[in-house]
Structure 1
Amino acid sequence: MSDRVLTFMAKLKALFAQRRADSAFDEEMSTHLEMLAEKYEREGMSAREAARAARRQFGNTALLKQRQRESRTTMFFANVWRDVRYGVRQLAKTPVFTIVCVLTLALGVGANTAVFSVMHAVLMKMLPVEDASRVFYVHTTGYPDGASQTGDPNTSFSYPVYRALREQGGLQEVMTFIPMSTSGKAPVRVGTMPEEAAGDMVSGNYFRGLGVGTELGRGFAEEDEDDHAPVVVLSESFWATHYERSRDVLGKTLYIKSIPFTIVGVAAKGFEGTEGKLPLDLWIPLQSRPEFNAWGSPAEDGMYLTEQKFWCMKLMVRTAPGVSREQALAKAQGLFERAAYTGVAQKRAGDETYRLSFNEAKQFDSQDGSFARALTMLMTMVGLVLLIAMSNVVMLLIARNASRQREFSVRLALGAGRREIARQLLTESFLLVALGGSAAWFFAVGATRALGSWAQIQSNLQPDGVVLGFTLGVLLLLALVFGLAPLRSAMSSGPELVLRSSATVSQSSSQQVRAGNAVIVTQIALCVVLLVGAGLLLGTLRNLLKTPLGQKPQGLLVFGVHPQHAHTKEESITFFVALQQRLRTIPGGESVSMASSRPGSGWSSNNAGVTVDGHKPNGVEPGQANFRKNTVGADYFRTMGVPLVQGRDFSDADSTSAPEVLIVNETFAKKYVGTLNAVGHVLTNSKGGHPILIVGVVKDHKYTSITEEAMPMLWTVFTQGGAVSQLDIEMRVPGDPMAMLPTVRKVIAQIDPDMPLLAPMTQSAVFEQSIAQQALFARLAGCFGVLAVVLIATGLYGTLAYRVNRRTAEIGVRMALGAKRSQVVWMVLRGSLLLCATGVVIGVPLAMAAGKGLESSLYGMKPLDLESYLFAILGVALVALLASAVPAGRAASVNPTSALRLE
């Protein structure tokens, strides 16, 4: 270590022992003075004369103390500590100013941190695994004809593809994971009450390949996969909530789908699975039992391990050390092309070649692009709020420091340099930002949790090191701006200002006024942009909530049921028919039906290929006739409140032995039958087989979400279909549907005590969830708009009040010369309205550009919606008037005599 470093460390150490060193030095000087005084007394001087002579000979004690202090510590640290103490006293002297600035920073910086935290987690955050740069999700551009998949063709693979990729040398590990159901959850039982838990079936090398350790016990081995062992690894959060982190959990039994599994480990804290919003509770090895077919599919349709055309497995890879992503991908592509056609028709000349891709192992795979765009838009809006908040604080600091110009002048006159003044202002700025930043971080933690809940994202959203770095960077920038912005005005006058009168000192320079006006105009322009954006998004939400659904979701209770012991077609049909009959007997129930996909959930079955009465469907090639399908129960349309246009609803008579029937919607009838009078026509598949009679036509109504356009739809009854693994029960009741839930739970428990209700809620809530993203961003945009208005109002009020106070003498002169009170009021209001008009003129073109950027997020609204622009302009004008009213009234109440005395 160099001498300079050692010296610096010694001085830094001395800084913290400064008081003790000062006392010792004072004692030493006193001893010397006493010795000199005694010497002069022996020479014949009086005690008083001796003491004076001793001090004269010894020299300036204050100077000696200063030099001694400089010799043992750096003056920089000492001066900074002095500035900190002085800054704390200054902030304490103006509590209202301090509180306003801290709250403004907390809101502005906290909102930015919360939105950035969600944006970082969703778009950028990597999985918490070892060396995540070598871990990738596997995607494909498609799958062969004849194969079936889960509804996400880009991330679904067959078991033969998985086995083939595991054997290729360019990849160190190939892991797979399969959700236990379409919702990702499965029925489990820890004690006596069944519940849902999110879980995946995974390969034996899952934890090893990802590099995820365990808090307790072990992960899986390849033998667990090969033997389909009934063992389970819990997440740390599930271990904490259900077993209170007991270390005796190993070896205990957890029932999953009524099958006993032995707990062998607890995953490392912070790891909650891969690829989605839902944090997982448990993992089990790949299973061969029919209860654990992939995604909860009926085993009768084929088990994922043996049905080679069933593409249902999600894959991840870890590349070997020294092997690049491109090299590994090139090797994997060849094996994929050969394995992809196992169990299906072989590739023909001219067929498309499906390409693999390796995507980074981010926390959220396959995130919807619209969500990313909406988050980016939200980040931009909250950034504008931060700019408004920052400019507010800058104006407050300039106004506060303008009143301290006399103080700065005195300090300059006493020998302080401009560097010392700058350091003092920066120190006060850092103190203010530190207080605001602390409050902002606490606000951000709570706001991030709320944002995640509103966006239905539950996994790993809390601020981390990256978010902390972002926040500290913003705070550092703000501290520099707040320290340097008022610096010029603080030192605009030299030491001679101390000799001027108070009235002269009080007059603001024209440069300061122009700078303040520019800040206010900028704030108003940004506020217009935020208010227009909020108006467009809130208008979108209003349109969504008023969209006709074509059905009556009010009064409907919906929940899923997954029978544990009904594996064949006959068993499942018998179970659900008996369940429907049992639920009909519940007192207070009006009607009961069921569906394979609950309306509004976003899930749909996409199908193609149909003929009508053995001919082309209304001139369309049979293979090009696309439609969506849902399998439902008897009384479905009566229960859902969907009007019949023609024919009848499904009934109990539509049993397994009865002729097969179906019902279509208006769009299907018009497009493929050619008329709404479709009852009596027969649909067959594209090859003319499997005829089914149309017995009803229903009004078009929403199926997957509120925003969908009308599409061809048909419905079949589950009693005439194949095996059913899960259905959603729709139960219409008078009054509050959730009040019926305890009674339904008791009935289900009597049928099977291990069978929980899956995602019970009202049908209205299902549709509301389908627009949860739009509602979230609209409401947040509204909050940001309101926050901007509040900041504008406080900033404008503070600036005008300060200016009126500084112009008291001028206003008194005007009134003494005959100016009326109404003229004084108009003088203040006119200045405020001129600033408002200038801000609006600048803000409207910016808002138009922002509206074009929001166009893809709007529903039933145009980017140039006149109502939204008028709302923003009138809102800003009203705020300007209200913020100006009190300062204008104060100006009009100035007493000319009192004001002239100030001169």
Structure 2
Amino acid sequence: MATGKEFGMARVKQDLRYALRHLLRSPGFTVSAVITLALGIGANLVVFLLLYGVILRPLPFSHPEQLVRIARAYPGSGDSNAYSATKILFFSRTNRSFESVAGYDYFPHSVNLMEQQAAIPLQSLGVSSNFFHVFAMEPMLGHGFAPEDMQPGAAGVAVLSDATWRRQFNADPNIVGRAITLGSEKYTVVGVANPKFQLDNKIDIWTTLHLKEDAENHDNNYNVVARLKSGVTPAMAQDDLKRVLLQLKDTYPDLWSAQESAHVWDYHASLVGDVKPALNILMGAVGILLVVVAANILSLLLTRAISRRREMSVRVALGATGGRLLQQMLVENLLLCALGAVAGIALAQFTAPVILHLTPIQLPAFASLHVGSSGVAFAAGLAVLCAVLFSLVPALESRRVHLNDSLRLNTTRIAPGRVPAQRVLVVGEVAMSLVLLVAAALLLGSFWKLVHIAPGFDPANTATFKTGLSVAQTSTGAAFGQTLDTLAAHTEALPGVESAAAVIGAPMEPVPDLPFDIAGRPAPSDGSSYDEKYVPITADYFTTLKIPVAAGRAFTMADNKSSAPVLIVNEQFVHTYFPKENPIGQHVQIGKAMGPDFADPVREIVGVVGNVKQLGLEQRAPEMMYLPAGQVPDKMVQLIGQSRGMTWVVRKKSANVDLANALRGVFLDTAQLPIAGMTTMDHLMSDSVAQQRFSMMLLSGFGLIALFLGAAGLYGVMSYTVARQTKEIGVRMALGAARGDILRMVLREAGILVGIGLLVGVLASIAGGRLMSSMLFGVAPRDPIALLAGSGVLLLTGLFAAWWPARRAASTEPMEALRIE
């Protein structure tokens, strides 16, 4: 005798066989539904993989929840991740909350690996001795750094990344103990890092920082990462650091600020903070797209359910319960949605690597778009959710029809009676489509304004690239300036070159902020210094980028280490600090607050130049301080030149001139410096708006798919309505109604559905517009033009979709319609 479980399984198998036959009998419906589901589930899966790979997946370290970043915080301003070596060492030895604390360079820097007369550019990161210990990621070969490696004057040691070890040293198993040359400095390889060790930057090699506690150490140049002790929360650690800062006041009073506090925050969150808003918006967009997909398929299923009412009524008459019918529909829809999910997974598997390659969103190095168990589970969850929805709504709708009515139904005709659920679905599709179209229109308007804003310089015919600098070339300000001037002169001597210059960071690239004081003016009320952008340049920088000189003069080759210290500021600097004064002749001292080693001589402002969009086209032009590269203080040269390298801008006489090989030869022959990242200023500007362009294109694509599906849904509903009202239309026409009257009747009904959907969509767009404010430039989140444009496109598309059923209704012959039983 069969058990209940066996009987239940037999029923499921029977339902599966019936569902498969039912889907195969309607190949057109099945294929279109599977493709539509694949689009919806696949798009959601790709964005989920981005979201999971970047935000939800734990960092690939032991107990990643214990990793935190320590930042400086001041009232009324944001956090700063930079700390000085003295504070890092002081925190490390006086805290009670951290198992270990490590510091590392605020920015990776370029170094040249000298191998067999070749200079190979690498990205290097200086770290404290317990850096790998904090992450619980000891090197795969060899060992990490020891405390004595951080002592000033200690021999240089290095840990290679797994990729560098394999690429540059052919995975030599005897690499530990080998001597290498970085620039002009000798290092000994002590280890090869674990291949899973990835942070927010691609690092080729790690070296030790030489750190010591110093009462005059004001240079905040290092990030701080720490591992919490077991049972300690970030809030507890933050309270502990309040005690540490008070202790710092007694030990190093000159390094203590009454306004300063410490902010302890999750390390993972600190790496993905800039990416999260864009990913959340994309997730919301594909979620809306899935709603439109589900509504479209549900509308088709409702029409099929209506045509199957007689079949279902016969089943009920033969004893089938409502639960049994629901099970049958659920199995059918699970099979359909499973096929859609499999196709969606295949689509995501193919498109995810392409999206990862194309996306300009700055993803952390640990980000991955691999469709693993979590991705399959997500797709399966969406499939089950859709299947339940696709089964419940038709089941509830079918309860409105009485059994006897269904049994009397002629199976050659569509059942009479209105189907309000279909109209609700059309309204929902129109509303969701409008939300996506308005979002795309907002991004399109924002992008248009971005690309047409004046950047403050002329990017045409200008190449740009980066170079690292050796220790010898950055040993003093004089050596630094001489190296750059020599390279600029040799570059300008090349055929096809109009002018060339070096800068610490070209427009659209980050540049450092440094504190300064204005002669004859009291410091800010909080006792700190002013703080603005610090940009060392060579003489022809303004000429090369065609930045206009508004007042005074530009720099010349005579502005060097032996000449009077000078400074050029931009118009925004003048507006902020000298709104009612002539800035020419004013005096500024940079770096005094950083200690005597960084104190710059007092500089005279000799010129004012136009504003440049240094931080990006969407940002206002910051206050800028330009100074001759040859006049940078020695300590600052060593800090900036060795850690960041320099960016070069070269204006060509013609766009057709190819300088790549000639420039590589000049820099290698003149200074043994390889060049990296060669591109054009036009491309640099284009890259600066790449995230906005990518989001705009993705949302526009979602909007167009939703628009097409919404139009298809409206077409299906109106076709069904016309077929259902054939006899009514015949009666109207027999009684004298003109074809135009019938056309207007059908279009009026479609217009009402679209109009209600637009009203709901406008309200939803207005309510959700503020969520996009962080991605917009020069466009209000509730921009009326975007709302009107999206509404107009949807209204025209909806009426066009309804036109064909309306035209068919108006072409109905009265006598043929009246003969329908």
- Say whether 1:829 aligns with 2:740: no
- Report if aligned partners of 2:45, 2:379 keep a CA contact under 8 Å in 1: yes
Cα distance in 2 for partners of 1:238, 1:799 equals 61
Quick one: which of 847, 853, 877 aligns to 2:765?
847
Q: Identify if the C-alpha distance between structure 1 residues 138 and 737 changes in structure 2 by more than 3 Å, giving closer, same or farther.
A: farther
Q: Name the structure 1 match of 2:23.
A: 91
Quick one: which of 554, 566, 580 aligns to 2:473?
566
Alignment of 1:180-199 (within 5 A): 182-183=107-108, 186-188=111-113, 194-199=119-124
Cα distance in 1 for partners of 2:176, 2:526 equals 60
Deviations along 1:596-649, whole A, 9 cap, x unmatched?
A: 2211213343443213xxx55999999876653321111211111112233432
- Report if aligned partners of 1:229, 1:287 keep a CA contact under 8 Å in 2: no
Q: What is the Cα deviation at residue 383 of structure 1?
A: 2.4
Q: What is the Cα deviation at residue 395 of structure 1?
A: 0.8
Deviations along 1:291-323, whole A, 9 cap, x unmatched?
A: xxx9xxxxxxxx999973333232222233345
Quick one: which of 592, 596, 617 aligns to 1:706?
617
- Report if aligned partners of 1:668, 1:712 keep a CA contact under 8 Å in 2: yes
What letter matches 2:283 in structure 1? Answer: M
Structure 1, 436-445 or 713-722: larger mean CA deviation: 436-445
Quick one: which of 6, 9, 13 aligns to 1:81?
13
Cα distance in 2 for partners of 1:865, 1:599 equals 30
- Report if aligned partners of 2:271, 2:364 keep a CA contact under 8 Å in 1: no
What letter matches 2:680 in structure 1? Answer: T
- Say whether 1:480 aligns with 2:480: no
Q: Name the structure 1 match of 2:130.
A: 205
Q: Identify if the C-alpha distance between structure 1 residues 418 and 711 changes in structure 2 by more than 3 Å, giving closer, same or farther.
A: closer
Quick one: which of 541, 547, 564 aligns to 2:453?
547
Q: What is the Cα deviation at residue 765 of structure 1?
A: 2.9
Q: Identify if the C-alpha distance between structure 1 residues 90 and 256 changes in structure 2 by more than 3 Å, giving closer, same or farther.
A: farther
Q: Name the structure 2 match of 1:8.
A: none
Q: Identify if the C-alpha distance between structure 1 residues 232 and 628 changes in structure 2 by more than 3 Å, giving closer, same or farther.
A: closer
What letter matches 1:766 in structure 2? Answer: L
Q: Identify if the C-alpha distance between structure 1 residues 98 and 257 changes in structure 2 by more than 3 Å, giving closer, same or farther.
A: farther
Quick one: which of 650, 653, 656 aligns to 1:731?
650
Cα distance in 2 for partners of 1:237, 1:131 equals 25
Q: Name the structure 1 match of 2:486.
A: 578
Q: Name the structure 2 match of 1:284.
A: 206
Q: Name the structure 2 match of 1:24.
A: none
Q: What is the Cα deviation at residue 402 of structure 1?
A: 1.9
Quick one: which of 215, 223, 234 aligns to 1:314?
223
Give the aligned length. 797
Q: Identify if the C-alpha distance between structure 1 residues 655 and 133 changes in structure 2 by more than 3 Å, giving closer, same or farther.
A: closer
Cα distance in 1 for partners of 2:657, 2:39 equals 37
Q: What is the Cα deviation at residue 391 of structure 1?
A: 1.2
Structure 1, 159-168 or 627-636: larger mean CA deviation: 159-168
Q: Taking CA–CA contacts closer than 8 Å with sequence separation of 6 or more, which of the two structures ends up with the larger relative contact order?
A: 2
Cα distance in 2 for partners of 1:498, 1:432 equals 26
* 3-state SS of 2:808 partner: helix
Q: Name the structure 2 match of 1:531.
A: 437
Q: Identify if the C-alpha distance between structure 1 residues 712 and 139 changes in structure 2 by more than 3 Å, giving closer, same or farther.
A: closer
- Report if aligned partners of 1:162, 1:176 keep a CA contact under 8 Å in 2: yes
Q: What is the Cα deviation at residue 393 of structure 1?
A: 1.5
Instruction: Give percent identity, aligned residues only.
Output: 27
- Report if aligned partners of 1:117, 1:448 keep a CA contact under 8 Å in 2: no
- Report if aligned partners of 2:128, 2:209 keep a CA contact under 8 Å in 1: no
- Report if aligned partners of 1:304, 1:312 keep a CA contact under 8 Å in 2: no
What letter matches 1:834 in structure 2? Answer: I
TM-score of the aligned structures, taking structure 1 as reference length: 0.79
Q: Name the structure 1 match of 2:90.
A: 164
Q: Identify if the C-alpha distance between structure 1 residues 467 and 739 changes in structure 2 by more than 3 Å, giving closer, same or farther.
A: farther
What letter matches 1:542 in structure 2? Answer: W
What letter matches 1:407 in structure 2? Answer: E
- Report if aligned partners of 1:127, 1:363 keep a CA contact under 8 Å in 2: no
Q: Identify if the C-alpha distance between structure 1 residues 698 and 268 changes in structure 2 by more than 3 Å, giving closer, same or farther.
A: closer
- Report if aligned partners of 1:136, 1:361 keep a CA contact under 8 Å in 2: yes
Q: What is the Cα deviation at residue 72 of structure 1?
A: 10
What letter matches 1:83 in structure 2? Answer: D
Cα distance in 2 for partners of 1:383, 1:889 equals 35
What letter matches 2:329 in structure 1? Answer: L
Cα distance in 2 for partners of 1:319, 1:607 equals 33
Q: Identify if the C-alpha distance between structure 1 residues 268 and 420 changes in structure 2 by more than 3 Å, giving closer, same or farther.
A: farther
* 3-state SS of 2:464 partner: strand
Q: Identify if the C-alpha distance between structure 1 residues 95 and 527 changes in structure 2 by more than 3 Å, giving closer, same or farther.
A: same
- Report if aligned partners of 1:584, 1:592 keep a CA contact under 8 Å in 2: yes
- Report if aligned partners of 1:550, 1:642 keep a CA contact under 8 Å in 2: yes
- Report if aligned partners of 1:556, 1:737 keep a CA contact under 8 Å in 2: no
Cα distance in 1 for partners of 2:691, 2:181 equals 35
Q: Name the structure 2 match of 1:297.
A: none
Q: What is the Cα deviation at residue 550 of structure 1?
A: 2.1
Q: What is the Cα deviation at residue 875 of structure 1?
A: 0.9
Q: Name the structure 2 match of 1:176.
A: 102
Q: Name the structure 1 match of 2:333.
A: 429
Deviations along 1:657-701, whole A, 9 cap, x unmatched?
A: 33333333334445555679655x242439999454444332333
Q: Name the structure 2 match of 1:381.
A: 285
Cα distance in 2 for partners of 1:164, 1:694 equals 39
Q: What is the Cα deviation at residue 450 of structure 1?
A: 1.9
- Report if aligned partners of 2:614, 2:621 keep a CA contact under 8 Å in 1: no
Q: Name the structure 2 match of 1:396.
A: 300
Q: Identify if the C-alpha distance between structure 1 residues 112 and 813 changes in structure 2 by more than 3 Å, giving closer, same or farther.
A: same
Quick one: which of 536, 556, 565 aligns to 1:660?
565
Quick one: which of 630, 648, 662 aligns to 1:743?
662
What letter matches 2:715 in structure 1? Answer: Y
- Say whether 1:596 aligns with 2:596: no
Alignment of 1:92-107 (within 5 A): 92-107=24-39
Cα distance in 1 for partners of 2:162, 2:523 equals 58
- Report if aligned partners of 2:110, 2:468 keep a CA contact under 8 Å in 1: no
Q: Name the structure 1 match of 2:343.
A: 439
CA RMSD of aligned residues (A): 3.9
Alignment of 1:343-382 (within 5 A): 345=254, 347=256, 352=258, 354-362=260-268, 364-365=270-271, 367-368=273-274, 372-382=276-286
Alignment of 1:727-876 (within 5 A): 727-736=646-655, 739-753=658-672, 755-876=673-794
Structure 1, 706-715 or 388-397: larger mean CA deviation: 706-715
- Report if aligned partners of 1:199, 1:282 keep a CA contact under 8 Å in 2: yes
Cα distance in 2 for partners of 1:674, 1:141 equals 30
- Report if aligned partners of 1:111, 1:444 keep a CA contact under 8 Å in 2: yes
- Say whether 1:642 aligns with 2:547: yes
Quick one: which of 426, 429, 432 aligns to 1:520?
426
Q: What is the Cα deviation at residue 481 of structure 1?
A: 0.8
Q: What is the Cα deviation at residue 730 of structure 1?
A: 0.8
Q: What is the Cα deviation at residue 833 of structure 1?
A: 0.8
Cα distance in 2 for partners of 1:493, 1:153 equals 64
Q: What is the Cα deviation at residue 359 of structure 1?
A: 1.8
- Report if aligned partners of 1:508, 1:806 keep a CA contact under 8 Å in 2: yes
* 3-state SS of 2:712 partner: helix
Structure 1, 593-602 or 191-200: larger mean CA deviation: 191-200
Cα distance in 1 for partners of 2:32, 2:155 equals 62
Q: What is the Cα deviation at residue 240 of structure 1?
A: 6.3
Cα distance in 1 for partners of 2:215, 2:660 equals 39
- Please, which runs of 5 or more residues in structure 1 have no aligned partner? 1-66, 144-150, 289-293, 295-302
- Please, which runs of 5 or more residues in structure 2 have no aligned partner? 593-598
Cα distance in 2 for partners of 1:506, 1:99 equals 23
Alignment of 1:668-679 (within 5 A): 668-669=573-574, 672=577, 679=584
Deviations along 1:217-276, whole A, 9 cap, x unmatched?
A: 244153684586755545455566667878677677765446565666554454313xx3
What letter matches 1:705 in structure 2? Answer: G
Q: What is the Cα deviation at residue 436 of structure 1?
A: 1.9
